[in-house]
Amino acid sequence: MIRNIVVGMSGGVDSAVSAHLLKERGHRVMGVFMRNWDEHDEAGRCSGEQDLKDAEWACQRLGIELRQVNYVKEYWTAVFSAFLDDYQQGLTPNPDILCNRHIKFDLFHRHALDKLGYDAVATGHYARNSLGNFLEHRADGGEARLLIPADTFKDQTFFLAGIPRQALQRTMFPLGDLAKNEVKLLARRIGLQRLAHKRESTGICFVGKRDFKSFIREYIASKSGQFVDIDSGAIVGSHEGIHQWTVGQRCRLGSFLQPYFVARKEASSNTIYVAAGHEHPALLSTCIHIEAPNWLCVQSQQRLASAGSLRCRFRFQHTKPLVDCCLRSCPDGGFEVLLDMPLRAITPGQYAVFYDDVACLGAGRIMSAHPLTCPHDQQSQVQTVSS
């Protein structure tokens, strides 16, 4: 029987209401606050200290114990160093997916189950578990699947797509059948008004409210390079480093008839190829190559292995609609995604996340996206124009 639950307390309304719901069901609940970023490095500009105070306040109101764990060193190694390395290589990483994979659903999960000896972990994510949001069907056996929540607008399965599959067997999602407005309403009713009115954190946690280019300059040195028109090969401007730009971003170069957007980044030459017009074919792709997926659904993994292809649905940004696709295994051991319709600015370093009608199947990191147009011999054109 699952009785003792550790809740990851973030200082927000979602984790606090999750803890309340567990207590209401008769579980023995302990809150644990994860410290993943060294506040002193950022001169007090991160909200971590306030989040801890809010978590302490919520646990006191709920009558549960709160402990802390420090994963600053592990976060730096597994998440932030990888984040910097990717940007230097011309990729655009997703630190939220890495944090869930390496910290929250690995280190923290093992800490709760093995070190603290509790039965399961609960989080405030908007997701559902096929074994029940409170693991009430776990005794029935079967594979735990990551299901789309009732509140599809707040759906956070995208960010959970990279977690270890076995972690789902011992993970509860108490908010899986609730809408965000219902969670806030419940928080007010149980005396957690302070959290119900707290502004939600958005964006990359360690960047905070700062301008991203200013932040990244603190860690990666500027390196001058050229903006090159992907059609003509003409140099149309200069930049201070490929790490400051991402695919699809507007470049705001002056004196041109159409605005330019980043189409591709070349780390070896520090060149950013740009396309004129928001819907330029060089920004659109239907064919993507990805790393080996992290599978959350064994049956889908087996179908792909036996048939060589899998029909499913795709997104690479959590706010975008799902698009039908075919996932195929390649002879070289890689994987290819063929989309039924072209999408704009598919970004290497981000994640291809796969779904069926009800569940998240898993995810693989995007290595390249083939544009609808492939200009001829770009490098030789650049040399000719610039010489």
Distance of CA 121 to the CA centre of its chain: 20
Same domain, 174 and 266: no
214 located within any domain:
no
Residue 376: other Cβ atoms inside 10 A: 8
Q: Is residue 383 part of a domain?
A: no
Question: 3 is written with which tokens?
Answer: 């009785």
**Strand order across the 28-35 sheet:** 65-70, 28-35, 4-8, 120-122, 171-172
Nearest to 205 by CA among 53, 35, 90, 350: 35
Measuring CA to CA, how many Å separate 212 from each of 168, 215, 242?
A: 33, 5, 13
In this structure, are 19 and 144 located in the same domain? yes
What percentage of residues in the chain have a pLDDT greater than 70? 91
Q: Give the single-character DSSP code of 168.
A: G
Residues 6+ apart with CB under 8 A from 41: none
Are both 154 and 256 inside the same structural domain?
no
- Asked whether residue 210 is assigned to any structural domain, the reply reads no
Q: Are strands 171-172 and 120-122 parallel, antiparallel or unpaired?
A: parallel
Residue 176 structural domain: 4-197
Q: What is the CATH number of the domain that holds 251?
A: 2.30.30.280
Do 40 and 67 sit in the same domain of this protein? yes
> Which residue is it, tokens 């939220």?
96
* pLDDT confidence of residue 281: 97
Task: For the beta carbon of residue 232, count every other beta carbon within 10 angstroms.
Answer: 14
- CA atoms of 362 and 299, how far apart (whole Å): 12
pLDDT tens for each residue of 344-369? 999 999 999 999 999 999 999 999 99
Q: Are 282 and 230 in contact (CB under 8 A)?
A: yes
Q: Is 205 annotated as catalytic?
A: yes
**Of 110-114, 204-208, 275-279, 296-300, the least confident:** 204-208
Tokens of 187: 């928080």
- What torsion, rounded to 10 degrees, do the Cα atoms 127, 167, 133, 162 define? 10
Residue 75 lies inside a defined structural domain of this protein: yes
**Of 140, 163, 197, at which residue does a domain stop?**
197
Contact 248, 344 (CB under 8 A): yes
Options 46, 59, 205, 360, the catalytic residue: 205
Dump pLDDT digits (tens) for 70-91.
999 999 999 999 999 999 999 9
- Helices (H) and strands (E) counted in the chain, each on its own, are 12, 18
Q: Which residues contact 40 (CB under 8 A, 6 or more apart)?
A: none
Look at residue 40 and tell me whether its pLDDT is greater than 60: no
From the candidates 59, 99, 325, 360, which is the catalytic residue?
Answer: 99
In angstroms, rounded to a whole number, what is the distance separating the alpha carbons of residues 369 and 10?
36
What CATH number is given to the structural domain containing 161?
3.40.50.620
Looking at residue 244, its pLDDT comes to 93
Q: What is the pLDDT of residues 289-325, one digit of tens each?
A: 999 999 999 999 999 999 999 999 999 999 999 999 9
Number of neighbours of residue 304 by Cβ within 10 angstroms: 20
CA-wise closest residue to 241 among 268, 270, 216, 215: 270
**β-pair type (271-276, 335-344):** unpaired
Report helix angle 13-24 to 48-62, nearest 10.
Answer: 20
**Residue 135 DSSP SS3:** coil
Global confidence as pTM: 0.91
Q: Are residues 332 and 356 in the same domain?
A: yes
Number of domains in the chain: 3
Q: How far is CA 260 from CA 213, 249, 369, in A?
A: 19, 9, 19
Pick from 278, 294, 310: which residue ends a domain?
Answer: 278
Q: Let me know whether 235 and 143 are in one domain.
A: no
What confidence score (pLDDT) does residue 39 get?
60
Tell me the per-residue pLDDT of 90-120, one tens digit each, with 9 for 90 and over: 999 999 999 999 999 999 999 999 999 999 9
